[in-house]
Amino acid sequence: MALETIRFDIQDFIRTEQQAGYLEAALEDGDPALIATAIDDIREARRSKRESKIKFLRET
């Protein structure tokens, strides 16, 4: 079975210095599972922040 891959651009995920440092540490470790977790954590943090902004705008 062939390995399915997707396009990955780090700029799609990094928005703050803390996120960059978090991902950099995961990349330095080299563990693919840790890297995937870091990317997921950053994506979730961005999604949560975006949702809270939308909620705030709807309430005002």
Give me the sign of the Cα torsion angle 46, 48, 49, 51. positive
| C-alpha triplet 30, 18, 41: angle, nearest 5° | 60
Query: Would you say the pTM of this structure is higher than 0.85?
Result: no
Instruction: Return per-residue pLDDT of the chain as tens, 60 residues.
Output: 788 888 766 666 667 888 889 899 999 999 999 999 999 988 888 887 777 777 777 877
Q: What is the pLDDT of residue 33?
A: 96
